[in-house]
Structure 1
Amino acid sequence: MRARRRPPAREPTIALINIVFLMLVFFLVAGTVAQPLDPGVRLVRTDALEGAAPPDALVLHADGRMTFRGTPVETPDAALVAEDGTARLLPDRDLPAARLVEVTATLRAAGAERVLVVTERGLE
């Protein structure tokens, strides 16, 4: 009797091709598409700045109180809008979002063309 000859096992190349293709797609999506910065440009460092509020910002405290330049404010009005039509808000991180939207709408009704929300940017 002759032994039956088995065909050689095929390498799973399709699975390997799929993995390499998925890695390629991942790195294309995860990589930056924008051109890199000019090597001669040095960006501004903000890690040493003091955490002082801009002097022309309406400060919204967590409990809903408002102050402008250290003075309590009852209702935001046109006096809080800068000459260029911009109003700045400095909300506390614990301020309810509904209150922020309410104050923003009041400033828009008072004549503010743009309302900027001043925030803290975490660097780490």
Structure 2
Amino acid sequence: MRRRDARKEREPTIALINIVFLMLIFFLVAGTIAPPLDTDLKLVRTADIDTSALSDALVVHENGDMTHKGKAVTSADNYIAPLKDEARATVRIIPDRNLPAETLVRIGRELRAAGAGRVLIVTERGL
């Protein structure tokens, strides 16, 4: 009788692959998937600011056009009017990188005049 060489036996890698695959599926299902922003939007870069883009934020494009959840918004009043009081307390704006600062300030002032408590600007985190 000959002894089997331990090096010739195959390792059970299939079990490891199955576990990794199940973990991948679990994290895909358990993770939250946020709706994507408009594809032509370029975010402003800042450093050391922790912000998150929310799906209920007001998106302001380079030419000053505003959208909310993919639908056009004609004015700050039209955006603020349907919001509940807790949503009006903090309003978030996601501006395009090439949006002029004067336009952003004007829209912020219009939002405050329409009833927004605080206006936050959501930006891309600087590296």
Coarse TM-score class (shorter-chain normalised)? 0.5 to 0.7
* Alignment size in residue pairs: 75
Matched-pair contact (CA < 8 Å) for 1:81–1:111: no
Q: Which runs of 5+ in 1 are unaligned?
A: 1-48
Residues 1:120 and 1:81: Cα distance change in structure 2 (over 3 Å)? farther
- How far apart in 1 are the matches of 2:103 and 2:56? 20
SS in 2 for 1:95: coil
The alpha-carbon distance between structure 1 residues 107 and 80, as it changes in their structure 2 partners (threshold 3 A), is: farther
Higher RCO (C-alpha 8 Å, min separation 6): 2
How many angstroms apart in 2 are the aligned matches of 1:117 and 1:82? 20
SS in structure 1 at match of 2:119: strand
Letter in 1 for 2:115: G
Partner of 2:66: 66
Q: RMSD value over aligned CA atoms?
A: 2.3
C-alpha distance in 2 between matches for 1:83 and 1:70: 22
**Identity within the alignment, %:** 51
Correspondence 1:106 to 2:110: yes
1:7 — aligned with what? none
Runs of 4+ with deviation above 6 angstroms: none
1:79-94 to structure 2, matched below 5 A, reads 79=81, 81=83, 83-84=85-86, 85-94=89-98
1:4-52 Cα shifts (integer Å, max 9, x gaps): xxxxxxxxxxxxxxxxxxxxxxxxxxxxxxxxxxxxxxxxxxxxx9974
**Does the CA contact (< 8 Å) of 2:35 and 2:55 recur in 1?**
no
- Contact (CA 8 Å) 1:56, 1:69: kept in 2 or not? yes
Structure 1 or 2, whichever has the larger Rg, is 1
Taking structure 1 as reference, are residues 57 and 67 closer, same or farther at Cα in structure 2, changes over 3 Å only?
same
Q: 1:51 to 1:69 in 2, by over 3 A?
A: closer
